[in-house]
Structure 1
Amino acid sequence: MSETTAPASVLDPAREVLDRARETVLVRGEPLGYADLVEILRTPDELLPDLLALAHEVRRKFNGDEVEVEGIVSLKTGGCPEDCHFCSQSGQFTSPVRSVWLNIPELVKAAEQTAATGATEFCIVAAVRGPDERLMSQMRDGVAAIKAAVDIEVAASLGMLTQDQVDALVEMGVHRYNHNLEAARSYFPQVVTTHSYDERVETCRMVKASGMQLCCGGLVGMGETLEQRAELAAELGALEPHEVPLNFLNPRPGTPFGDLEPMDSRDALRTIAAFRLALPRTILRYAGGRELTLGDLGTREGLLGGINAVIVGNYLTTLGRDPREDLELLDELQMPIKALNATL
């Protein structure tokens, strides 16, 4: 046995955790609870391939082989009044992103380019606490123009909503709304101070009740403990969103988290598997930071470890992989892109 290999006596308890997870999730179809998620996140490196294989089995059993592809665009970039410590769009920090608005023709062009990649969803994002009448009016015009020009589902992420705004988005034909929890309840005050965790949850609940699909995820690698990572996964499991985007911190200059080190790739893969086991039937989407945290090899391993959706192209303030690279990888892994009518 090499010096880097843990003895069997150390690995046996971890194997028992994986066996218990297999019975709970794969056999009984139940999500993994907080205590077991903590142990999953402690899986030794030697058993990481086994953990990823289990998560992949769960993904295939409950979600099939198809992958949902999405593109995003920022309708209003920068100048946000909130102080999310990871975000370069906050107007409270010295990060170099400044307020910019897209016009309707630019929005339609971005939607057409997204559809050309094979994506079935196009998400319009705005850096705001919540939408004002100007933003809602531009959304109304933009969604109508996109639907007239291209066959693609339209999603939105506009911050915290009132009930009237939720109703208006439904009327526009927005089929999915993104509002992330960002962090576990216990860690949220270290990430955001200008609004509360409960305010975020309230918007999520209104969205779910409206009939729109709820997209709700978070960001890992922000200095949270392993236990808080498991807490976030369990909280998302209790909320039961239709989709969970999983972001990895890409430290942005000028933000309070700008000096943090990127998350270790093995911890990122353990996190992907843990989220899959906590959310066996949910769309689990690669979102921001995967290029820095995982690289090409890790991106492949994550797709074979629980991920079943990707954002292609660039993100809001950071660059992503060339969409062709992601599409070629999906083809190589024999993971077909989910058809538009399968996303409804």
Structure 2
Amino acid sequence: MTTAAKQATARDAGERDILDIAREQVLERGEGLTEPQILAALRLPDERLADLLQVAHEVRMAWCGPEVEVEGIVSLKTGGCPEDCHFCSQSGRFPSPVRSAWLDIPGLVKAAEQTAATGATEFCIVAAVRGPDKRLLTQVKAGIEAIRAAGIEIQIACSLGMLTQEQVDELVAMGVHRYNHNLETAKSHFTNVVTTHTWEERWETLRMVREAGMEVCCGGIIGMGESVEQRAEFAAQLAEVNPDECTMNFLIPQPGTPYENFSIVEGSDALRTVAAFRLALPRAILRFSGGRELTFGDLGTRQGMLGGINAIIVGNYLTNLGRPASSDLDMLEELNMPIKALNDTF
């Protein structure tokens, strides 16, 4: 968007009520909010939060439908990462309590089986690395083959860091249908969060994944010291990626990391962010991910599900405990939100 166009939309957002704009532009036409418009939504006062969440829910229902995609994740390689992502307890550069470990193939198959038993359609294999080496890709391939040999019907996704074109092609050949690679935060804030690689390197991996035909999962973490303007910037940059799925994580201050003393995002602020991201990404799968238990609690989680969210990770996260999967499934039943069924192309 040109500077003149940004100024025009900023004037529009200031002169007209942002929720009226959202109803016309996003709900009726399916066009996501622009960066200045996202900022206007993020600046709405608490007394208008319920209205914002309602519009976001209507957008979700109109452009995504009532189904909720359920996913489980497992760490194939934990800890010892050479990168310095300041939020991450798996970085080998910080004195966190997480130690390096590998999950064996039987353990990976068991995790996939347990995930499928919840009704989940997605199983994401994650590794704490800058990017995969030959050993890791060999392990991933063997794990996928073992999951398929066991007859477990579930889609396989991966999150293995930055990729080369050859590695992208290898993952496609393995049958990986979705790749997660988060931009983490706004481009203008990125160097405050990570210094060992660049925002552009992450963007390049996303480009290759998209062009290779895999689905793109890309989101980030809210609450890492970014300004409200940078949250709007981040949402607009994610809209440029046009991800199939966007993960909504909220910072968990991890012991031993540079962010261990950061404050938890307030519930109302977090809900406002969820709704604003839905209005920026009307067609994306918007997934509740890490930190939702700490940030939202049970009531806030329900409000988020009625404020634009249409996917959740069930069970535990990589180095943090989540809610029991049964609690989330019971919640979805109470909210009359059907679990998305597995398609026939896994």
Same fold at TM > 0.5? yes
1:226 aligns with 228
1:241 aligns with 2:250: no
Residue among 164, 167, 178 paired with 1:165: 167
Helix, strand or coil for the counterpart of 1:73? strand
1:307 aligns with 309
1:104 aligns with 2:79: no
Structure 2 residue identity aligned to 1:73: V
Structure 2 residue identity aligned to 1:145: A
Helix, strand or coil for the counterpart of 1:125? strand
1:317 aligns with 319
Give the Cα separation in 2 of the matches to 1:324 and 1:28. Answer: 37
Give the Cα separation in 2 of the matches to 1:45 and 1:130. Answer: 41
1:117 aligns with 118
Matches within 5 A, 1:143-158: 143-149=144-150, 150-158=152-160
2:203 aligns with 201
Helix, strand or coil for the counterpart of 1:151? coil
1:136 aligns with 137
How many residues of Structure 1 are paired with residues of Structure 2 in the alignment? Answer: 333
* Most deviating of 194-203 and 144-153: 144-153
Give the Cα separation in 1 of the matches to 2:15 and 2:74. Answer: 42
Structure 1 residue identity aligned to 2:50: P
Contact 1:14 1:43 in 2 (8 A): no
Q: Structure 1: which 5+ residue stretches go unaligned?
A: 1-12
Give the Cα separation in 1 of the matches to 2:313 and 2:209. Answer: 22
Helix, strand or coil for the counterpart of 2:71? strand
Task: Give the C-alpha shift of residue 153 in structure 1.
Answer: 0.6
Give the Cα separation in 1 of the matches to 2:148 and 2:53. Answer: 39
Matches within 5 A, 1:248-263: 248-263=250-265
CA offset digits 1:60-89 (Å, max 9, x no partner):
000000000000000000000000000000
Contact 1:52 1:304 in 2 (8 A): yes
Give the Cα separation in 1 of the matches to 2:75 and 2:95. Answer: 20
Task: Give the C-alpha shift of residue 21 in structure 1.
Answer: 1.5
Task: Give the C-alpha shift of residue 343 in structure 1.
Answer: 8.3
Contact 1:219 1:246 in 2 (8 A): yes
Contact 1:131 1:158 in 2 (8 A): yes
Structure 2 residue identity aligned to 1:77: T
Structure 1 residue identity aligned to 2:23: R
Helix, strand or coil for the counterpart of 2:187? coil
* Runs ≥4 residues deviating over 4 A: none
Structure 2 residue identity aligned to 1:45: D
Structure 2 residue identity aligned to 1:20: I
Helix, strand or coil for the counterpart of 1:253? coil
Task: Give the C-alpha shift of residue 27 in structure 1.
Answer: 1.5
Residue among 329, 332, 335 paired with 2:331: 329
2:292 aligns with 290
Task: Give the C-alpha shift of residue 342 in structure 1.
Answer: 7.6
Task: Give the C-alpha shift of residue 298 in structure 1.
Answer: 0.3
Task: Give the C-alpha shift of residue 195 in structure 1.
Answer: 0.1
Give the Cα separation in 1 of the matches to 2:36 and 2:340. Answer: 34
Helix, strand or coil for the counterpart of 1:166? helix
Task: Give the C-alpha shift of residue 310 in structure 1.
Answer: 0.2
Distance change >3 Å, CA 115–CA 84, structure 1 → 2: same
Give the Cα separation in 2 of the matches to 1:138 and 1:71. Answer: 19
Structure 1 residue identity aligned to 2:296: L
Helix, strand or coil for the counterpart of 1:259? coil
1:32 aligns with 2:21: no
Under a length normalisation based on structure 1, what TM-score does the superposition of the two structures give? 0.95
Structure 1 residue identity aligned to 2:286: L
Give RMSD over aligned pairs. Answer: 1.3
Structure 2 residue identity aligned to 1:29: G
Task: Give the C-alpha shift of residue 14 in structure 1.
Answer: 9.6
Under a length normalisation based on structure 2, what TM-score does the superposition of the two structures give? 0.95
Contact 1:184 1:229 in 2 (8 A): yes
Q: Structure 2: which 5+ residue stretches go unaligned?
A: 1-13
